[in-house]
Structure 1
Amino acid sequence: MPHTFNADRREKIAKQKYQVTNWPAYNESLRQRGDLTIWVKDEALSLWTARRRTSRGGQPKYSDLAITLCLTLRVVYGLALRQTQGLMRSVAALMGFDIAVPDCSTLSRRSKGLALPSTKSRATTSGPVHLVVDSTGLKVFGSGEWLENKHKTKAKRKRWRKLHLGLNLVSGEIVCSDLTVDDVGDPTALPGLLDQIGGRVEKFIADGAYIADGAYDGTPSRDLLATRFGEIVEVIIPPPKTAVASPQSVLVPSVRDRYIAEIQTKGRMAWQKSTGYNKRSRAETQMGRWKAVIGPKLICGRLPLASVFCRYF
């Protein structure tokens, strides 16, 4: 149940209680959260060291694959660079690998501008895509934050990045993602998300109901979806509370006009059940899962990692 829609009577809604009926499976799932299982192919060991280059300058010691593996474990387990070095050193010793582990300075230097492998092929599905999109803010932790905590100085401006994710409700996988600056709106980032989808979109669900600006609710977003996937695509975008019907709603009502009329007659909660808008909660759950992995903030200078990691795992 949306918080903003029921904010005026939030205290009257009882807290939901859940009862676990499959205790063995639930306990095993909790144990698996702490399980660390790593498979290393022989090809990965052969590609651990970097190829020698013919140009002038120092020769790189570690390949991009080695740096990517170390930084992946760092993001998943929320480790510092020195702790990441210690974890990789212990893993190599336990598995009996005679490999050198990158130090913390090398990981910090190589992480900037690291070219991660493309994973767009995993997002290609054979059937139609039921796409639900959402975005969240990620705080950038940099020198300004350190100065504010250490010397009690006031930062000039808080810096944020917006992580946009698109979830396929049929398969449950993330099919598109993008990381933008904080002043890029959701409709502006939508064309880049749709470019990453190779299949046909049959249903599109997005936010935009409980605030005046409407988020994805607007003519540009609807026209873009109709141009990309045709008029057959079902667009489920809730209009804001201040939305009014178009002048031609009496003769030729649009989908948005029908949504506004249904909300006025039956109520917003009934409209959500009839259109299937409640399925957008799966995107909220997925967003919470990935924020638990990558954390609520980013390290300054390492911004591209978050958006790629969401498709890399």
Structure 2
Amino acid sequence: MPFKHNAARRHKIPKARFRVTNWPDYNESLRGRGDITVWIEESVAQVWFARPRKQRGRPATFSDLAIETCLQIRAVFALALRQTQGFVRSVLGLMGLNLPAPDFSTLSRRASSLKLSRPKQQTNLEPSTLVIDSTGVKVFGAGEWQETKHGTRVKRRKWRKLHLGLDLNSGDIICCELTEENVADPSALPDLLDQVVDPIATFLGDGAYDGEPSRNELEKRYDGVEVIIPPPKTAVPSLEAETAPTQRDRDVLAIEKNGRMAWQKANGYGRRSRGETLMGRYKQVIGHSVKSRKLNNQKMEAKIGVSVLNKMTALGRPAFERVLAT
């Protein structure tokens, strides 16, 4: 990840090339992403209906797993709620299962308070390397093409901010949060870290996370965590830098002495680019916008999208090797 101030000379730096070494397995995993049996297993039929409860009020007809399965299919195949109902109904019929499909109003109502099933926990032999980044996703509204083509009045767009945390060791998204557009990245960090189960050895974030609140939060939760956050160019060491330097002081002094590019290479800051790649992958597979209109439903929609991406990752990941220039 070259320093942005070198953009004018970046064309002189040859781009690194990589080659996939497990094409047969990776191709099969890509085919499996569209296999309907991956998203609807026969075992789901056994827990399709909700368990009886003793509380007052009308009991739920469908289990949380049934609702979650339908919402995952909606995310994978980019369907509306009514089309999701018809799609699931036809699949259940082809499977020979005499089960009803949740209607579109049930899917919308249950999504706001849905409890997602926990994925199978993987035993990590080493602490996680966490990369956190954020991006904007659109809420419903007129598109840019309509405004450009027909000259319609430009309305104030509504956006949501999607925060994702990627474990570089496993390739899974281990934390997710959808907030309003005015929520700063450091403000969303505590809620993201609450979702992380395994210990963290290294944290990578962009300059938006620079500051004492983010660093103190990480050091309070994880002993000996390595925080790799680039200080701004106006950053100066603290008054205690000579006697008791903090990790940020050491970063500032290293940048002043050797330059920002050398600091990035020494700390492995280029690994943060995988977080940006994750954002592009989310928008390519799930979409650039949220379909729901209520904030709670939008948050659940983002979590469903994350579970879909993690399930696709579990099917198979590409293995790369760098191609050396000749």
Q: TM-score, normalised by structure 2?
A: 0.77
SS in 1 for 2:235: coil
CA distance in 2, matches of 1:23, 1:199: 31
CA distance in 2, matches of 1:101, 1:47: 13
| Cα distance change of structure 1 residues 67 and 27 upon mapping to structure 2, 3 Å threshold | closer
Q: Which residue of 2 aligns with 1:261?
A: 253
Does structure 1 conserve the Cα–Cα contact (< 8 Å) formed by 2:2 and 2:261? no
Letter of the 2:41 counterpart: V
CA distance in 2, matches of 1:306, 1:80: 12
1:231-310 maps to which residues of 2 (within 5 A)?
232-299=224-291, 300-301=293-294, 302-309=297-304, 310=306
| Cα distance change of structure 1 residues 233 and 154 upon mapping to structure 2, 3 Å threshold | same
Letter of the 1:303 counterpart: Q
Query: Structure 2, unaligned stretches of length 5 or more?
Result: 312-326
CA distance in 2, matches of 1:238, 1:3: 11
Q: Which residue of 2 aligns with 1:199?
A: 198
1:216: how far off?
0.7
Does structure 2 conserve the Cα–Cα contact (< 8 Å) formed by 1:294 and 1:306? no
1:217: how far off?
0.8
Deviates more, 1:281-290 or 1:12-21: 12-21
CA distance in 2, matches of 1:162, 1:50: 33
1:127: how far off?
4.0
CA distance in 2, matches of 1:311, 1:124: 18
1:19: how far off?
5.6
CA distance in 1, matches of 2:28, 2:117: 33
2:40 matches 1:47: no
Q: Which residue of 2 aligns with 1:212?
A: none
| Cα distance change of structure 1 residues 262 and 130 upon mapping to structure 2, 3 Å threshold | same
2:58 matches 1:75: no
CA distance in 2, matches of 1:7, 1:217: 23
Q: Which residue of 2 aligns with 1:145?
A: 142
Q: Which residue of 2 aligns with 1:158?
A: 157
Deviates more, 1:123-132 or 1:301-310: 123-132
Deviates more, 1:172-181 or 1:302-311: 302-311
Query: Structure 1, unaligned stretches of length 5 or more?
Result: 209-214
1:40-119 maps to which residues of 2 (within 5 A)?
40-42=41-43, 44-50=44-50, 55=56, 61-107=61-107, 109-117=108-116, 119=118
Number of aligned positions between the proteins: 301
Among 216, 219, 244, which residue is 1:223 paired with? Answer: 216
Q: TM-score, normalised by structure 1?
A: 0.80
Letter of the 2:211 counterpart: G
1:90: how far off?
2.6
Does structure 2 conserve the Cα–Cα contact (< 8 Å) formed by 1:67 and 1:110? no
Does structure 1 conserve the Cα–Cα contact (< 8 Å) formed by 2:111 and 2:300? no
CA distance in 1, matches of 2:191, 2:77: 30
1:96: how far off?
1.1
SS in 2 for 1:202: strand
Deviations 1:35-78 (A, max 9, x none): 33245344x32433446777566x75544433322111011121
CA distance in 1, matches of 2:120, 2:29: 29
- Percentage identity across aligned positions? 50
